[in-house]
């Protein structure tokens, strides 16, 4: 597979104005020579010291620790885990029983050794997961990536034989979607040839493929349009409720879902295109992302609604003959963080000012029964999920916090409180620090929360090295979580760590996300700047000692703090970032995010996109703080071109811009624990050098 970008008419027009367009040639010899030179220079400056080597080793100890919780997934009678450590850098797919799992040192049975497979096949395989056919759970579709890219190879695997199936289902490398129908059929969306992928680089056509026949003979069940985001098909194999579905993703937040009949007829699940739906047994759950009027009633954006699936498709709810059950309705401070089914119950995870609480709902006529599930300590994150919704009311529950290592509980709804069965180790002395939550008013008056982790004895003298992290997009929430790496790399050095819950995220549901979409994108950056200004006002830190960091969409945020608010920061780290917002729709999977940012090929939208495009906004004659851009050659989601071009442009203008590109790792930036420890050690060493 080649990772070079495909030239487009818009790209050709851009070439005369962009002297760094050649860096978009991902594997090109000229571009890779530049990458190697940049990597060497950055390592020479920041990756050679004894302090860097010590930190690299200490972070690898965290990532490789045998004391980490091995989180599991139940498949049939076994509990499966994918595990990486020092002896198995690529990882082991392994299994055990629940009785063994409860033990401090479970006995594991290896199912697939990825290191041995990679050595045998001379491929740098990276695990991308497996889908197993229930209820027997013998056959699985295993996805493997070369070097960590989103594109992967799919191969059929036999869990009983613990081997790949000779003559089984195999799909070559592509951004593929697969799902079991039965033992001899799968739904597949992949690169079937020219025109079969969307402009966003995802499958446009869903087909039914029969075992033993050529892929070219697979029967089309649905075909989307090139401008769609993606098309997928899957089958719900819940015993007694087997149904097939097709989804046409129109954009990142808009889709159409259909019930696929045995005769091939499609029946649309008639909800707003911005609503998310899921089906469990007889229940249809609906999450509208905007206020929804139905049968004379308005359901608020961010709600969770329930309907009888068959009755809904029959139209009873649209005529007012039945009402949807409102399982959750947001308030000014609450949002739905997620939900999970057990056999007879639904567990809701609700955030209130970014702190979790759990409820258990039980279907019954009229209003569903509600009961609380044991809460978490203050300023922590809690989550619970059903283990096997087909068979039991068992669930796992996790509790974690910035200073509290994760604890895993196991319980059964209706049978008392869950009991702890696994504890993550402590990787730093948390007794020296305290967590606090603060709120600040952004430029337009919006109340924005942030978390601060700081030494208990911190002096408010404006001199504390402070790292502020943010994301601010795609309705993703930043919640309390334990990180041994942050503890060792930053807190132990005397630093303060801050997490900003800016608009664009999901901390207060869809409204919080939609407040920073497209033309309103600057709100996310105003929020982040307001947090920075509050830290400076409170004398926690000062611009010379304050750094900003973010990855992916958060890397775009970091890039905008660099160009829009340079006076607030002493250093910036931008990881696997979007930065050239003029070209982003023509790079890797960028076209899939038009619903988030807008379309720069439309002059009316480029007029406001350019206000948050760091690559276009960096100008000569300004004072920018030092910046480090990190990325991966194998990132086929955002792509390394953004970081390459931004670093090259800033260096040409005489600004202090460092760059490091890992040749593997995909959008995560690293392919294994050793690479991840190295990348983090480099980033934190660089940061500490600039803001201590």
Q: Is 676 exposed, middle or buried (0-12, 13-18, 19+ CB in 10 A)?
A: buried
CA–CA distance, 436 with 499 (Å, rounded to integer): 11
Burial label for 438, CB within 10 Å (0-12, 13-18, 19+), is middle
CA distances from 129 to 78, 86, 188 (A): 16, 20, 16
Residues 6+ apart with CB under 8 A from 421: 101, 102, 408, 409, 410
| Confidence at residue 375, expressed as pLDDT on a 0 to 100 scale | 60
How far apart CA 201 and CA 271 sit, in angstroms, is 26
Strand order in the sheet with 243-251: 230-236, 243-251, 254-260, 266-268
Q: Kindly name the residue from 255, 552, 574, 632 that is annotated as catalytic.
A: 552
* Rounded Cα gap, residues 520 and 611, in angstroms: 10
Query: What is the SS3 assignment for 305-329?
Result: EEEEHHHHHCCCCCCCCCCCEEEEC
Q: What is the pLDDT of residue 321?
A: 82
Confidence (pLDDT) at 15: 58
Count of residues in the chain: 692
Q: What pLDDT score does 16 carry?
A: 65
Q: Mention every residue, 6+ apart, whose C-beta is less than 8 A from residue 53.
A: none
Residue 517: predicted pLDDT = 97
Catalytic-labelled residue, pool 78, 128, 642, 667? 667
H helical segments located in 65-206: 98-101, 114-121
| Residues in the chain where the model's pLDDT stays below 70 | 1-16, 374-377
* Eight-class DSSP state of 549: E
Helix (H) or strand (E) run with residue 234 in it: strand 230-236
Angle between helical axes of 29-46 and 641-652 (0-180°, round to 10): 70
Place of tokens 């503890």: 487
- 667 in catalytic set: yes
**Distance, CA of 306 to CA of 297 (rounded, Å):** 15
What is the pTM assigned to this prediction?
0.94
Q: Which residue has the tokens 């400076």?
A: 536
Nearest to 246, CA basis, from 230, 254, 237: 230
Residue of 462, 463, 655 lying closest to 566 (CA atoms): 655
**Whole-number Cα distances in Å, 36 to 28, 41, 681:** 12, 9, 19
Q: How far apart are CA 639 and CA 96, in angstroms?
A: 38
Q: Tens digit of pLDDT for each residue in 398-456?
A: 999 999 999 999 999 999 889 999 999 999 999 999 999 999 999 999 999 999 999 99
pLDDT for res 9:
39
- Token output for 358: 């759990």
Structure tokens at 684: 């934190």
Q: Are strands 292-294 and 419-423 parallel, antiparallel or unpaired?
A: unpaired
Distant-in-sequence contacts of 3-6, Cβ < 8 A, 24+ apart: 3/27, 3/149, 3/633, 3/634, 3/636, 3/639, 4/28, 5/586, 5/587, 5/588, 5/639, 5/641
Contact, 316 vs 309, CB < 8 A?
no
């Amino acid at each position: 597979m080649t990772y070079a970008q495909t030239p487009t008419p818009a790209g050709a027009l851009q070439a005369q104005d962009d002297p760094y367009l050649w860096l978009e040639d991902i594997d090109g010899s000229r571009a890779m020579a530049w990458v190697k030179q940049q990597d060497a220079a950055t390592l020479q400056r920041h990756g050679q010291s004894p302090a860097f080597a010590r930190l690299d080793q200490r972070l690898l100890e965290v990532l490789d620790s045998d004391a980490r919780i091995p989180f599991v997934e139940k498949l049939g009678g076994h509990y499966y885990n994918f595990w990486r450590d020092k002896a198995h850098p690529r990882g082991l797919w392994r299994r055990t029983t629940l009785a063994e799992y409860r033990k401090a040192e479970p006995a594991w049975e290896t199912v697939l050794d990825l290191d041995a497979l990679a050595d045998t096949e001379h491929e740098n395989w990276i695990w991308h997961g497996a889908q197993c056919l229930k209820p027997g759970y013998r056959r699985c579709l295993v996805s493997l990536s070369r070097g960590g890219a989103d594109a992967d190879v799919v191969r059929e695997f036999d869990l009983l034989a613990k081997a790949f199936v000779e003559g089984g289902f195999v799909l070559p490398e592509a951004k593929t979607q697969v799902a079991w129908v039965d033992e001899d059929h799968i739904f597949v969306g992949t690169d079937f040839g020219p025109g079969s992928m969307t402009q966003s680089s995802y499958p446009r056509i869903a087909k039914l493929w029969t075992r033993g026949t050529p892929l070219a003979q697979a029967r089309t069940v649905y075909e989307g349009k090139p401008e769609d985001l993606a098309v997928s098909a899957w089958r719900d194999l819940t015993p007694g409720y087997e149904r097939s579905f097709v989804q046409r993703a129109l954009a990142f937040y808009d889709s159409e879902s259909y019930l696929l009949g045995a005769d091939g007829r499609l029946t649309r699940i008639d909800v707003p295109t911005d609503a998310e739906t899921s089906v469990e047994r007889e229940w249809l759950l609906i999450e509208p992302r905007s206020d929804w009027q139905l049968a004379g009633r308005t359901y608020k954006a961010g709600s969770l609604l329930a309907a009888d699936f068959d009755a809904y498709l029959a139209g009873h709810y649209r005529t007012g003959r039945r009402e949807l059950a409102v399982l959750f309705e947001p308030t000014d401070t609450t949002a739905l963080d997620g939900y999970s089914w057990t056999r007879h119950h639904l567990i809701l995870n609700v955030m209130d000012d970014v702190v979790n609480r759990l409820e258990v709902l039980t279907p019954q006529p009229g209003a569903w029964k509600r009961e609380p599930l044991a809460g978490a300590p203050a300023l922590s994150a809690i989550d619970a999920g059903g283990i096997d919704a087909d068979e039991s009311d068992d669930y796992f529950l996790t509790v974690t916090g910035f200073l509290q290592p994760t604890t895993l509980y196991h319980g059964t709804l209706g049978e008392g409180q869950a009991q702890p069965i696994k504890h993550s180790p402590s990787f730093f002395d948390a007794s020296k620090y305290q967590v606090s939550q603060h709120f600040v008013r952004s430029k337009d008056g919006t109340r924005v929360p942030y978390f601060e982790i700081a030494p208990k004895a911190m002096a408010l003298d404006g001199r504390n090295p402070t790292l502020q992290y943010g994301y601010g997009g795609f309705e993703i929430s930043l919640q309390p979580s334990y990180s041994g790496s942050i503890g060792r790399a930053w807190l132990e050095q005397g630093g303060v760590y801050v997490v900003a819950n800016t608009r664009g995220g999901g901390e207060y549901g869809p409204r919080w996300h939609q407040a920073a979409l497209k033309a309103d994108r600057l709100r996310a950056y105003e929020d982040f700047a307001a947090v920075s200004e509050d830290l400076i006002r409170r004398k926690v830190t000062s611009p010379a000692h304050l750094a900003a960091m973010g990855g992916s969409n958060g890397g775009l945020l970091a890039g905008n703090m660099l160009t829009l608010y340079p006076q607030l920061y002493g250093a910036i780290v931008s990881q696997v970032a979007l930065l050239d917002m003029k070209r982003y729709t023509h790079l890797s999977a960028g076209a899939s995010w038009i619903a988030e940012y807008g379309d720069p090929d439309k002059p009316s939208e480029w007029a406001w996109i350019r206000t948050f495009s760091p690559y276009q906004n960096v100008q000569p004659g300004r004072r920018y703080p030092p910046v480090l851009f990190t990325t991966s050659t194998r990132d086929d989601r955002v792509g390394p071109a953004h970081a390459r071009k931004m670093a090259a442009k800033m260096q040409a203008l005489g600004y202090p811009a460092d760059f490091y590109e890992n040749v593997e790792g995909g959008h995560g930036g690293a392919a294994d624990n050793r690479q991840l420890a190295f990348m983090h050690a480099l980033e934190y060493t660089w940061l500490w050098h600039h803001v201590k």
